[in-house]
Amino acid sequence: MYKIFIPMVTIQEIKNAHAKVKSGVDFPQYIRELKGMGIVRYETYVSDGHTEYWSENGETVISEEKYDFLEVKKVSNEEAFRRGLKEHQAGKSDYMGFCRMCAESGVEKWVVSMGEMSCVYFDVEGRVMVEERIPE
């Protein structure tokens, strides 16, 4: 039996999918599109927006920074983050506004798992602030 090798997607293909995301409302479709490309997991860092993507065959690709440096607060505020996340998911903020709110609330990164269809937000100490299921 032969294993079929599927090459890792390119950052440009990922950017094309991400360009369709205007607010948190569009996020589930974006995740489905990435999943269809063979991406199984990714981590996005709030300080500069770079993201590390992992494929089904274990390859990784890392994006460049997406914006100027944002200082992530050392003390997290889970309540403020939950409020901001809810507003973003309702379409009340754009991606950059969401990232600024994350930094202010002490979110260092988020990790998306396509297998579990989950998104987990971590503070600078590595503690889970919020874990959510992504609608399929």
Burial class (CB in 10 A: 0-12, 13-18, 19+), 85: buried
Is 114's pLDDT higher than 50?
yes
The H-or-E segment that residue 60 falls in is strand 60-62
pLDDT for the residue numbered 72: 98
Segment 60-92, tens digit of pLDDT: 999 999 999 999 999 999 999 999 999 998 889
Could you list the residue range(s) of the whole structural domain that residue 55 is in?
11-133
Decide: 114 and 31 in contact? Cβ < 8 Å. Answer: yes
Could you give the number of structural domains in the chain? 1
Question: Alpha-carbon distance 7 to 111, whole Å?
Answer: 22
Residue 4 lies in a domain: no
- How many alpha carbons lie under 13 Å from residue 26 in its C-beta half-sphere? 14
- Lowest mean pLDDT: which of 23-32, 46-55, 105-114? 23-32
Is 23's pLDDT higher than 90?
no
Residue 1 lies in a domain: no
Segment 4-14, tens digit of pLDDT: 445 578 889 99
Is 3's pLDDT higher than 70?
no
Residue 6 lies in a domain: no
Please report, rounded to a whole number, the percentage of residues in the chain having pLDDT higher than 90: 68
Q: What is the CATH number of the domain that holds 38?
A: 3.30.1810.10
Decide: 56 and 6 in contact? Cβ < 8 Å. Answer: yes
Judge if pTM exceeds 0.75. Answer: yes
